[in-house]
Amino acid sequence: MDFLAVAMRWAHIASMAFVVGGAFYARFVLAPATEGWTEAERVKLGDRIANTLRPVMMIAVVVLLLSGTFNLLRKTNLPAGYHMWFGIKALFALHVLGVSMLLGRPGVALAKRVRWLTGIAASGAVVMLISAVLRAMQQ
């Protein structure tokens, strides 16, 4: 068994579950739970979360990029169209990763955070779909 490949695949799936799952949780559970709070209270909560999130998100983004690059470089005999779909996935993935880093900024209004989260939850879902297509293309 190729243990390095298994470890890298696990790292890729675990880090993407944190990033995309976290976006869905924050958008559809955490943000609605602050309904009725003042804007100052919401910004304070957002800042506290941002401070805790920043280093963890940095690690998740680095692991995703490294494990994804490893996965790609290990591929051989790729079918026609694979690189096109991979390029589309990379664009959506960059959106997710870039905005995930922005979420670590303090002082952002909750409405703006919710817009960011809606965008990356949607892009994250698209990235997972394209990843499933990439896998199916090789069977």
| Longest CA pairwise span in the chain (Å) | 57
Question: Which one among 28, 30, 54, 71 touches ligand HEM, defined by CB under 6 A?
Answer: 71
Beta-carbon contacts of 88 under 8 Å, excluding residues fewer than 6 positions away, are: 130
Question: Which one among 37, 69, 83, 106 touches ligand HEM, defined by CB under 6 A?
Answer: 69
Question: Which one among 8, 11, 16, 63 touches ligand HEM, defined by CB under 6 A?
Answer: 16
Q: Which of residues 88-127 bind ligand HEM (CB under 6 A)?
A: 93, 96-97, 124, 127
Burial label for 99, CB within 10 Å (0-12, 13-18, 19+), is middle
Question: Which one among 43, 63, 68, 121 touches ligand HEM, defined by CB under 6 A?
Answer: 68
Does 9 interact with ligand HEM (rule: CB under 6 A)? yes
Q: Which of residues 72-91 bind ligand HEM (CB under 6 A)?
A: 72
What percent of the residues of the chain are helix, what percent strand, and what percent coil, each to the nearest 5? 80, 0, 20
The backbone region for 77, taken as left when phi is positive above 0, alpha when psi lies in -120 to 50, beta otherwise, is left
Cα separation, 30 vs 24, in Å, equals 9
Question: Which one among 30, 45, 65, 88 touches ligand HEM, defined by CB under 6 A?
Answer: 65
Chain residues binding ligand HEM by CB under 6 A are 9, 12-13, 16, 19-20, 64-65, 68-69, 71-72, 93, 96-97, 124, 127-128, 131, 134-135, 138
